[in-house]
Structure 1
Amino acid sequence: MALDAESEAIGSLLLDRGALTVEQLDAAEDLAEDWNVSLVKVLLSRRWLTAHDLYREIAFYHGLTLVDLIEDRADDDLIRQYDPVVMNQYMTVPIGRAEDGTLTVATSRPGPRTVLHIREVYGTGVTIVVASHFDVSWQLQRAFREKHSHEAVFALAELDPDMSAQNVVTPPQILVIYLLVSALLLGLAFAPVATLIVLNVFLTIFYTGNFLFKALLVWLGGAAQETSSRAIAAEASLLRDEDLPIYTVLVPMFREPEVLPILAQALRNLDYPLAKLDIKIVLEEGDHETIDAARKLDLEGVFEIIRVPASHPQTKPKACNFALRYAQGDFLVIFDAEDKPEPDQLKKVIAAFNQSAPNTACIQCRLNYYNARENWLTRMFTLDYSLWFDLMLPGLERLGVPIPLGGTSNHFRMDVLRELNAWDPFNVTEDADLGIRLTQKGYRVGVIDSTTFEEANVSIPNWVRQRSRWIKGYMQTFLVHSRRPIHLWQSVGTAGIFGFIFFIGGTVLSGLLNPVFWSIFAIWLIFGTEVISPYFPLPVLYLSLVNLLAGNGLLIYLTMVAPFRRRWTDLAPWGITVVGYWVLMTVASYKALSQLIFNPFYWEKTQHGLSKHTANEVAEASAEATEAAQ
């Protein structure tokens, strides 16, 4: 598509005034035509000139004054008289009113369309000035700091309280728990043998169902995506850059300055027009170290720092909710700081949305690790993720049951995300909760064959902190969505109920109950059958034996075959040691239960950058960025 007259004129001006070289202008004009965006957007996606210099030339072209809203702060009370959604959409903000009543409005997008919008919203007696889009966004963040911070924390709890984890347990749930505990204690007091037999029957059947359900998921997920993956890849390769939508990328970080270069380079490497990416680096306002590191990187103009006001709970979903108020894309994805998505991931997601049912609201991509072979823990973590994302989630999709999303590489339709009040800031596994909530609201979650590679934990204490937070979030998610069992059944169906119980509840319960069954097995080995036979009638004993041998054997087998889909056959023998990994899961489960009771909203930070690969990644990313800037 040919350049518009304004882009051509601004390009000539930048060349005449020495802001660009001939080679740079030619490259920028070619990209503007290929991507179907303005020349200004292309230049913001390059580092040939600073954002300040670019906006200075834009102001000169339009004959307007360039203002610095960081130095000369706008009137917050005046800004709050207007709609922040509209101001963010058009990148305009009123900054002051003269004594004669003339209103001064700053914009980062001067031009005929913006002038018409300003006249419609602010009136005709207006003086227009130019400010960078960073300055306009920062003014909105400061003016609506309290409002947007409150919404980020309480919007879901106030507008849809049944779906919020703000109340850990509700009064009816407390009553049910009280009745169950009372029944158990009374049974143990007056009929201990019968009570233990009933309990063993229940737990044994639950374990058997959990094993069989996971086996079914792997069987269904093994071949669930072959045809759809080829179709999605074929359409993605045919997508034209000029037709692609604006894509918001949220990158929530906290005290992780060391991985910023890796993040920036991974996003630059995406096969997507950089000028069509709206990248928000979401940082806590008190995290000065990471904020300073981001500034020193001299990132392209498509990168923007969002400073999240301090408030409780201090969680990733709260930060994302705050940043969502300033997002401008049609689609949104979350990447963690150390993520390296496959370059064609965004295009594959667009193709997947095009081929999916109209009620598809989210596409989950696969997660795995680039340091899989660093030590035993990273190998087990990789086997765990390979089983989960490569086999089980596709099986859930095929069954049509709720999919608990992973913590990253979830791609959302922006309109649905806002409709559902986004993430629950009180749930520490916010995406798993959102996946269940999407299904209950009538939306569908898809899973596609595109991988984002992360840094696997190399430290056991660090892994326990991370996994205990995930399990605590699963506990919160189970409590929230079991509050209205009839509504849950009506919204997700019978298969969805079983999937929810075994995939969410089973993940939690197996970690808590493993020590009980291991202890019973140890007692049987030491003291013989006579000690446990009164509590295990013959049918229950046989079923327990099946669980012990066939069930655990099946899970070990599934762990060993999980990496075959990626042809990582050298990892398969390590699956034999998965029992040690289950022990760590139990430790994390009891820590999660303790925190659920005493500190339910605490977000236990996982430290990244511990891998020996990180230093090399940072050096490579910095070198690539320097080469690209030249």
Structure 2
Amino acid sequence: MLNHYRNDLFLKSGLLLKDSYEHIEEMSQRLNKSFLKVTLNYAFLSRLKFKEHLLDLGIRFYEFDYTSLTKIRETLTKEEFDFLLDQNLYPIKTAKGKVDLVTADPSDDISINRFIDFFSYDVGEIHIGEDLDIVKALHMTYGDTILHKAVFDLYEKDNKSSALETFTLKQVIVLCILGIILLSLLLLYPITTIISINLFINLFLLLAIGFKFLLTVVGAKSETIQKISQTELSKINADELPYYTIQLPVFKESEVIYKLASNLQNLDYPKEKLDVKLLIESDDEVTFNAVKNLKFPCIFDPVIIPYAQPKTKPKACNYGLHFSKGKYLTIYDAEDIPDSDQLKMVHALFSKLPEEYIVIQCALNYFNKTENYLTRMFTLEYSYWFDYMLPGLDGLKVPIPLGGTSNHFKFDRLIELGGWDGFNVTEDADLGIRAYAKGYKVTVLNSTTYEEANNAFYNWIRQRSRWIKGYMQTYLVHMRNPSKLYREVGLNGFLGFQFFIGGTFFTFLAYPILLLLFLFYIFLTLDISSYVVGSLNTEIIDFFKLIFPEWVIIISVFNFMAGNLLMIYINMIAVFRRKSYSLILYAITNPIYWLMHSISAYKGLFQLISKPFYWEKTNHGLTKDHKPEIE
């Protein structure tokens, strides 16, 4: 064994104070994790400082060749895999029948002796490696079985609930039959058919927007409801709080890793009861190296996701589930700033709710809301969505499509549901519908997590096209058997699903059509054609007047105007709960913002057919603002 002892390495060197040292020893024994694992993952010491100290001692780190990793056994049990991760040991089988070990702590004789007792191998040479390199090597060597489950578990258990198959054969047949019928009607009754299609689009659009207005009215009634009071929070005994898993899926997020580590420190929850999993893709060297070189201590346990397609957030979260230990589980994005007492509030609310409530969705909003036009409109949208519409769905007992972050689950029920669909790019919305269909309930909580609003146009388009594509995926999955969906969620839930999930992407797809009809109406009303396009064949104008008679255009124009006015009104209402009065006039520009949604919707529709599982990466860390703005 190496002649570096823990007392010398950590105490005499000044890396740790005596109180911290004793505290870590107690935690190490209680959690059955190595001393260094606790030290680095519970914010007692930074990885960079520890690495620099070992380099000063003249220690050379073992360099892994990730392309030629070998196993000591073909398969390890989950218990054996967890043991290696907890002790931070990587075993290397040698030709002599012994096992060499790579450890991150040159003073850790205890973990090495535990390994000998646990595996009954003779240990040969001991190498020193960086802790994250060991974690990465372990996951890439032994994570294949868990990775398969992360990708295919839902599909293999319930293929009807997975978006792996974008269009089922039955759906393709139905669409073909409807297409044939439509083409036949267009050939036989072209004028009547075109007018009927126009009227259907207008009717569904009006109903979808009207439903959102209804949700806003119902949601406004909850404005003064405080589900958990400060008095209730003050009575919580920290010793009785359960373990809480926080999943942090990241991909090329080196710009916000420092902010992430800082935000986690601000949570008002005993850090010893936090099970924070930082989910890093194995080929994401940028984030991996940023975590290795963090200059200050941080509270998270890195989990390295072996490479596999699809490269999606739900696949990473599913993989992380197998290493999570909390009673509750939530997801935060890398740039999120949750209310400091959010975890305690969720625990208190779960304690009050009936057992069938298994998910609590907290509100999302933005800390850089006044940065530019995009961030202002994004803030208006999130404000009416999370402060009014989701509470409205809750009030009407309609399935709630979850937001992408700050949704808090009962861990055992999340496992029962099969986790997330790794092939659905809005896995959160899909899971909310699946939970409701299984007889479980979702509610909302008036606690906020602040995010970074997208402040760049093309970045916004990428993000929004993925969201809308995911709503299309979710709609197709749950409408594979409409009668089954109706039986599971009831009439209110079925109609809510049609107008909220289906209506959302349908509205954005239909919006440009109504805009063109509006412009065509202006074109005809002002008789622009007589002097702008004097040479235009009057037969073309007459044909358009035939298929779009004045009464149809008037209906379309009415819907276009009424829909925009309703959404402008909803956006204006959205400012009041958060007192963001400076944004109220921007609500008038909602028609422009909707046109951006339409661009995203058609891009999402194209990708639904061409590459349905492709995850459009949203770049974070672009803003200069890092704190919530209070007006």
TM-score tier, shorter chain, comes to: 0.7 to 0.9
SS in 1 for 2:289: helix
Letter in 1 for 2:281: E
Q: Residue 165 of structure 1 aligns to a residue in which SS? A: coil
| AA matched with 1:461 | Y
Alignment of structure 1 residues 590-609 onto 2, 5 Å: 590-609=602-621
2:330/2:407 contact within 8 Å kept:
yes
Q: Shift of residue 420 of structure 1?
A: 2.2
Aligned-partner residue type, residue 580 of structure 1: I
Distance 1:316 1:25, change over 3 A: closer
Q: Secondary structure at the match of 1:143?
A: helix
Runs of 5+ unmatched residues, structure 1: 1-9, 57-67, 618-630
Distance 1:197 1:50, change over 3 A: closer
2:584 paired residue among 572, 580, 584: 572
The aligned residue for residue 397 of structure 2 is: 400
Q: Pick from 432, 441, 458 the counterpart of residue 438 of structure 2.
A: 441
Q: For residue 243 of structure 1, report the CA deviation from its aligned partner.
A: 1.7
Corresponding residue SS for 1:258: coil
1:270 aligns with 2:264: no
- Judge conservation of contact 2:139–2:306 (CA < 8 Å) in 1: no
Shift of the 307–483 alpha-carbon distance from structure 1 to 2, 3 Å rule, reads same
Q: Are 1:450 and 2:453 counterparts?
A: no
CA 1:122/1:387 → structure 2, altered by over 3 Å: closer, same or farther?
same
1:225–1:449 Cα contact (<8 Å) kept:
no
> What's the offset of the Cα at 1:527?
1.5
In the alignment, structure 1 residue 243 sits paired with structure 2 residue 240: yes
Residue number among 377, 401, 408 corresponding to 1:380 in the alignment = 377
By how many angstroms is 1:507 displaced? Answer: 0.6
1:284-295 to 2 correspondences below 5 Å: 284-295=281-292
Aligned partner of 2:280 among 283, 290, 294: 283
Match of 2:514 among 517, 532, 539: 517
8 Å CA contact 1:364–1:410 kept in 2: the answer is: yes
| Residues 345 and 118 (structure 1), Cα distance of their counterparts in 2 relative to 1, 3 Å cut | farther
Structure 2 CA distance for partners of 1:214 and 1:115, relative to 1, 3 Å: farther
Shift of 1:552: 2.5
Q: How far 1:217 moved relative to its partner?
A: 0.6
Aligned to 2:423: 426
Aligned mates of 1:49, 1:591 — CA distance in 2: 43
Give the counterpart of 1:557 among 560, 565, 569: 569
Distance 1:25 1:309 in 2: 34
The aligned length equals 591
Q: Which moved more, 1:93-102 or 1:203-212?
A: 93-102
- What corresponds to 2:531 in structure 1? none
Instruction: Find 2:190's aligned residue among 189, 192, 210.
Output: 192
Are positions 1:307 and 2:268 aligned together? no
Matched, 1:329 2:326: yes
Q: Structure 2: state its 5+ residue gaps.
A: 1-5, 54-60, 527-541
1:165 aligns with 2:159: no
Q: Structure 2 counterpart of 1:172, which letter?
A: K
Q: Write the distance in 2 (CA, Å) between the matches of 1:94 and 1:608.
A: 34
Distance 1:225 1:82 in 2: 52
Bigger Cα displacement from structure 2, 221-230 vs 411-420: 221-230
Please tell me whether the aligned partners of residues 439 and 488 of structure 2 are also in contact (alpha carbons under 8 angstroms). yes
Residues 140, 306 of structure 2: 8 Å contact kept: no
- Rounded to whole Å, the distance in 2 between the matches of 1:456 and 1:49 is 30
CA distance in 2, matches of 1:598, 1:98: 48
Matched letter for residue 249 of structure 2: P
> 1:610 is aligned with what amino acid?
L
Deviation at 1:474, TM superposition (A): 0.6
> Deviations along 1:278-308, whole A, 9 cap, x unmatched?
2222222122122111111045364232222
Tell me what 1:219 maps to.
217
Output the amino acid matched with 1:470: W
Are 1:83 and 2:95 counterparts? no
TM-score by length of 1: 0.82
Per the TM alignment, residue 429 of structure 1 is displaced from its structure 2 partner at its CA by 1.3
Which position in structure 2 is the counterpart of 1:176?
174
Q: Are 2:264 and 1:252 equivalent residues in the alignment?
A: no
Distance 1:581 1:49 in 2: 44
* C-alpha separation in 2, matches of 1:141 and 1:38: 17
Change (3 A) 1:441 1:86: farther
Give the stretch that moved more between structures: 178-187 or 220-229. 220-229
AA at the equivalent of 2:258: P
Q: Percent identity?
A: 40
Kindly state the Cα deviation for residue 149 of structure 1 after the two structures are TM-superposed.
2.2
Alignment-derived partner of residue 548 in structure 1: 560
Alpha-carbon RMSD: 4.2
| Structure 1 residue 416 corresponds to structure 2 residue 410 | no
